[in-house]
Chains A and B, each alone.
Chain A
Amino acid sequence: MGGTVSRITSQEGFFALWKGVNAAWLREASYTSLRLGLYEPVKVLFGANDPETTTFFKKFAAGSAAGALGSIAGNPFDVLKTKMMAEAGRETPSISKTAKDLMSKQGIGGFYRGIDSNIARAMVLNGTKMACYDQAKGYVVAATGLPKSHFLTQFLSAVAAGFFMTCTVSPFDMVRTRLMNQPSDAKIYNNAVDCMVKIAKNEGPLTFWRGFIPIWSRFAPTTTIQLVIFEQLRTMMGMKSI
């Protein structure tokens, strides 16, 4: 990891570490803003007005629905981000150039490559993330007596959410990355289900969790920072905690 960082910074400059960050911003501004921001409104829509009586299932359903909507909006930026990060060289690839290239080579379909598995993944990811976060907060509050708006409550709940999220998302992550990046001239998998079946059949079901630790190492900081900042911003704006 340290070697890779020094190699990138020495060969391409310090800011190469933020290569493709504009696509990542666009992705987050579309995908994550919807999947996090819509959670509360969707939960209310599902009749989960009282946090004390709301079931885990309803929380999961609200998170899943928000995740699906976010995924539809964010898929093109997800594809662009992956392509831009993979570009080599000192010059940071432009998002418009990458988009034009993709459009000319694959058409609009290129931006929605792997959309089926992406939606499925987003539903599971966000359902687990928000439901576990919401549920864990209740447990932390009950165990520690701290309020929901307390930083420690939010931090511990976010850490728990990150762990459970990794458990449920790992299989979808593998399917998604394989589908999104398979070559157009040598189709290996027809769709998400076909991909899952082929992986399970050819490589064994445990293959789905092969990347657990690396995925967790990415999810844990992201989920924790994201949820804590989200909650702090909500508090600053005078909103109640999730």
Chain B
Amino acid sequence: MATAAAAAVAAPSLMTQVGMAGSAAVITVSFIHPIDVVKVSNFLTRRQSDGSELMASEWRLYDGWCLFMIPYSATGNACRPMLCISNFKMMFFSRHILNLLPSHHLNQQKHQ
């Protein structure tokens, strides 16, 4: 009898387990969400998301990610913001590589 009671205590319902997990997840994401927003914003500049032009200085500011945007931006302005987000986690792309790009490439982007 006592064993059965202990087993009942040890085996919580599926809903309780899922509920506890959900609560933990919701509390956690409330703290963590600003980091995600900053990361996305860091990658996707306000100017880019407005659909306006990119300046060469911004390309340099966002260094590593820009290299991904250069080939993709050929698909058109409307696609650019989404493509920017797609690579926001790739922070470790060498910033020096951008300097190797021909300068006219940046200028072409600027005037697109």
Chain A interfacial positions (CB closer than 8 Å to B): 1, 4-5, 7-8, 11, 16-21, 24-25, 27-29, 31-38, 40-41, 82, 85-88, 173-174, 177-178, 180-183, 185-186, 210-215, 218, 221-222, 225-227, 229-230, 233-234, 237-240
Contact of B26 with A29 in the complex, beta carbons under 8 Å: yes
Contact of A32 with B35 in the complex, beta carbons under 8 Å: no
- Indicate whether A17 sits within 8 Å of B33 (C-beta atoms), given known contacts A181-B83, A218-B39: yes
Contact of A21 with B50 in the complex, beta carbons under 8 Å: no
Contact of A28 with B22 in the complex, beta carbons under 8 Å: yes
Name the residue of chain B whose CB is nearest to the CB of A231. Answer: B24
Bound form: Cα–Cα A1–B40 in Å:
11
Identify whether the interface residues of B are mostly helix, strand, loop, or mixed: helix
Contact of A33 with B90 in the complex, beta carbons under 8 Å: no
Contact of A174 with B90 in the complex, beta carbons under 8 Å: yes
Identify whether the interface residues of A are mostly helix, strand, loop, or mixed: helix
Choose among B38, B50, B89 the residue that contacts A211 (Cβ–Cβ < 8 A). B89
Name the residue of chain A whose CB is nearest to the CB of B40. Answer: A85
Q: In the complex, what residues of B have CB within 8 A of residue A33's CB?
A: 18-19, 21-22, 25
Q: In the complex, what residues of A have CB within 8 A of residue B79's CB?
A: 183, 185-186
Task: Across the A-B interface, give the 7 residue pairs with the lowest CB-CB distance, nearest first.
Answer: A33-B22, A181-B86, A37-B18, A37-B21, A32-B25, A36-B21, A28-B25
Choose among B19, B36, B46 the residue that contacts A85 (Cβ–Cβ < 8 A). B36
- Indicate whether A29 sits within 8 Å of B20 (C-beta atoms), given known contacts A183-B79, A186-B75: no
Beyond A34-B21, A35-B21, 12 extra complex contacts between A and B, CB < 8 Å: A18-B30, A21-B33, A24-B33, A32-B22, A37-B22, A86-B44, A177-B87, A186-B76, A210-B90, A213-B92, A227-B24, A229-B24
Name the residue of chain B whose CB is nearest to the CB of A232. Answer: B24
What are some 23 contacts across the A-B interface (CB < 8 A)?
A8-B37, A21-B33, A24-B33, A32-B22, A35-B21, A36-B24, A37-B19, A174-B90, A177-B85, A177-B86, A177-B87, A183-B75, A186-B79, A210-B93, A211-B90, A214-B90, A214-B92, A221-B32, A222-B28, A226-B28, A230-B24, A237-B16, A237-B20
- Per-residue CB contact flags for chain B residues 67-109 toward chain A (1 = under 8 Å, else 0) read 0000000011011011101111111110000000000000000
Q: In the complex, what residues of A have CB within 8 A of residue B75's CB?
A: 183, 185-186
> B112 near A: Cβ within 8 Å?
no
> B2 near A: Cβ within 8 Å?
no
Bound form: Cα–Cα A44–B11 in Å:
10
Instruction: Give the size of the chain B interface in residues (CB under 8 angstroms).
Output: 51
Name the residue of chain B whose CB is nearest to the CB of A239. Answer: B12
Contact of A17 with B34 in the complex, beta carbons under 8 Å: yes
Q: In the complex, what residues of B have CB within 8 A of residue A85's CB?
A: 36-37, 40
Name the residue of chain B whose CB is nearest to the CB of A184. Answer: B79
- Indicate whether A37 sits within 8 Å of B36 (C-beta atoms), given known contacts A21-B30, A183-B75, A211-B91: no
